[in-house]
Structure 1
Amino acid sequence: MRSWLARREKESVYHRLLKELSLEDHETMRNWIRLDKDQYHKLLQLVTPLIAKKDTRMRKAVTAGERLTLTLRYLATGESHASLGCQFRISHNLISSIIPSVCRAIYQVLKPQFLRFPTNQSEWQKVANNYFTQWNFPMCIGALDGKRGLISKPPRSGSEYYDYKGHFTLIMMAVVDANCNFMYVDVGASGRASDAGV
């Protein structure tokens, strides 16, 4: 281990900056990780059982708070793993396993409450009424769009992820209600598919 990584518990942005922001500057904290103090602590409480690791004789584990904060910072900025590694004093190899596991945990704990497709006629009618009231779109039950995310070409995938723009991509499709709340999300269709195909 590099010596500067060993000083994580004293010098990382999690142990210094986040604690200062949470006590002194809530607006900057919200801008930095895109959650206010209460939202952050509630989410941390929900995901901790899923992301917490145990200390070993060799080293202390990266805490659930560090894991969540690092992932939120990555999602807020798209910073490189190398840059996050320097800020949080965590190796970029570990960061590449932390981010997906924390994202899965966030999805698991928030999906039942925030990603809910209408299940009966009255719920669909409520969505349609909101579109008409707020946007003057009669009989609209959702807005659908897709986004392509660049990826490295997976081994032995041929042209499966090669899109019409000449990149290797995955497609995310989402449906939102009149308040721009997600009702449905599909991530992972191969880039060669068209939006209509997905």
Structure 2
Amino acid sequence: MVRLHIQRQDTVMRESFSGDQRLALTLRFLATGESLHSLSFAYRVGRCTASGIVKDTCTAIYNCMKGTYLKMPDTPEKWKNIDKDFNEKWNYPFCVGALDGKHVRIKNPKCAGPLYFNYKKFYSIVLLALVDANYRF
């Protein structure tokens, strides 16, 4: 599904990094938090190339899956149904979503200073999730 959007064309000078390799590099980065420097050695590409691959692949994943997995209500009636569900199931009126976050521990990025240091006294990024009354994203 995503492969066609991340695959690049081979040139006379070199073969392109395949769509499968691009996806593997990105998933490894997202799953492990491994540094781009380390990934660039593992996949034998430059650090800036690895960074571009992660960015392009994440954008392609979002664009391919947003219509299927990240649907937003598109009519006022659908919004009202979500509000009705929250009111009936949880006795919480005028609500159309429940938002929560989780600190995902990371290594301190170089030159980031205190940017990623949180109130819990470790480095993290925040993962947010929004669900409806039935726990659906």
TM-score scaled by length of structure 1:
0.49
Aligned to 2:131: 176
Contact 1:67 1:98 in 2 (8 A): yes
Q: How does 1:37-56 map to 2 (within 5 A)?
A: 43-44=1-2, 48-49=4-5, 51-56=6-11
SS at match of 2:90: coil
- State the superposition RMSD in angstroms: 3.4
Q: Distance in 1 between matches of 2:98 and 2:27?
A: 26
**Comparing both structures, which one devotes a greater share of its residues to helix?**
1
Aligned residues: 130
Q: Which secondary structure state, in structure 1, belongs to the residue aligned with residue 100 of structure 2?
A: strand
Aligned to 1:91: 44
In the TM superposition, residue 123 of structure 1 has moved relative to its aligned partner by 1.4
TM-aligned CA deviation for residue 80 of structure 1 = 3.8
Structure 1 CA distance, aligned partners of 2:85 and 2:41?
44
1:71 aligns with 2:26: yes
In structure 1, how many angstroms separate the alpha carbons of the residues matched to 2:51 and 2:34? 10
Q: Does 1:103 align with 2:58?
A: yes
Shift in CA distance, 131/72, structure 1 to aligned 2, threshold 3 Å: farther
- Displacement of 1:106 in angstroms is 0.9
Unaligned runs of 5+ in 1: 1-42, 183-198
Letter in 2 for 1:91: R
List per-residue Cα deviations over 1:111-160 (Å, max 9, x = no partner): 24432333543112222344467xx31334222101223353463x5534
Tell me which amino acid in the other structure corresponds to 1:167.
Answer: F
Deviation at 1:66, TM superposition (A): 2.8
Deviation at 1:174, TM superposition (A): 2.5
Q: State percent identity of aligned pairs.
A: 30
Say which of 105, 109, 123 aligns to 2:78: 123
CA–CA separation in structure 1 for the residues paired with 2:110 and 2:41? 25
Tell me what 2:90 maps to: 137
Q: In 2 relative to 1, CA 162–171 (structure 1 residues): closer, same or farther, beyond 3 Å? A: same
Deviations 1:23-53 (A, max 9, x none): xxxxxxxxxxxxxxxxxxxx23xx523x222
Residues 167 and 79 of structure 1, relative CA distance in 2, 3 Å threshold: closer
Structure 2 unaligned runs (5+)? none
On the 8 A contact 1:151/1:170 being kept in 2, the answer is: no
Cα deviation digits, residues 148-177 of structure 1 (max 9, x gap)? 23353463x553432112223332333112
- Distance between the aligned counterparts of 2:101 and 2:39, measured in 1? 29
